[in-house]
Amino acid sequence: MMSTTLNVLSVIKINPLLWLVGGLAIVTGHFRELIILFSIVFIHELGHAFTAALFKWRLVKIELLPFGGVAEMDEYGNRPYHEELLVILAGPLQHVWMLAAASIGLNYGMGDPYLLQMIISINWMILLFNLLPILPLDGGRLLFLLVTLFVPFRKAKRRTLLLSCMFLLLFFSASISMFPFNLNLVVILFFLIFAHYIEWKHQSYVHLRFLLERFNLPQSFRRKRVISVPPNLRVDHVLANFYKGYEHDILVKASPPYMCKEKDLLSAYFKNSAVSCAIHDLFR
């Protein structure tokens, strides 16, 4: 437990812009509110980080930003479903005990009622906002995990991004109509738009890392899946049909048909640069 704690604490970073936000909060008399807000955000991100560390995920950083926080992992979709689900939910679940503690304190007169009510309001705000089905929020990550149950990883990423864009558009329209002059909300909205642009731009990179992890995995997956492909299908198009959580056998519908293993295909892709080669030409 001590090594896990040290591992998590070693990757904590504070964005330099946060000091500017803190200075403005002091000038405007809102420093106390800022401390409460970022304490709650920090606890939320620690929930993700500690759960990931317990599963021995590769932690990159926990960064506090002027508009929130992020716990970044060097993982690309090959961890078991239950691990990914628990790591995602570990952030929102922190708000449950914070809400319970603040509510008990408020009901029994323990502490400043104004501060306790503020803690309750901020927790609800962050919790509900974070569960929206929009990337890179936890709700968007849960949506992606759900979609990967039904379609291949690469297609799941694209579909989740399209769904996320749709929900973001709805959220953007509702927010602007209800709070047209809220500067904080405008900043958050533009951050989410920029995040979608980055996610869309990096789709191929994420899929490549997904495949590279599979190639380097020492153990096999528990579940098997057979993919049937025509003999003239390119190797990269075959790999686009790989699912999360499965080890694949590829049935090449040649004459006669034959099977090839996932590891053999990944080895040809990464070691022999067989990207655009037809799968039948590779194994005949």
Q: How far apart are alpha carbons 7 and 284 in whole angstroms?
A: 48
Alpha helices in 217-254 (DSSP H): 235-239
Cis peptide before 16 (omega within 30 of 0): no
45 catalytic, yes or no? yes
The residues near 183 (Cβ < 8 Å, ≥ 6 apart) are none
Q: Quick one: which of 213, 229, 223, 228 has its CA closest to 263?
A: 213
Tokens found for residue 34: 């800022």
Query: Residue 6 burial (CB < 10 Å; 0-12/13-18/19+)?
Result: exposed
- Residue of 45, 72, 199, 247 marked active site: 45
Cα–Cα dist 220/214, whole Å:
9
Q: Catalytic residue positions?
A: 45
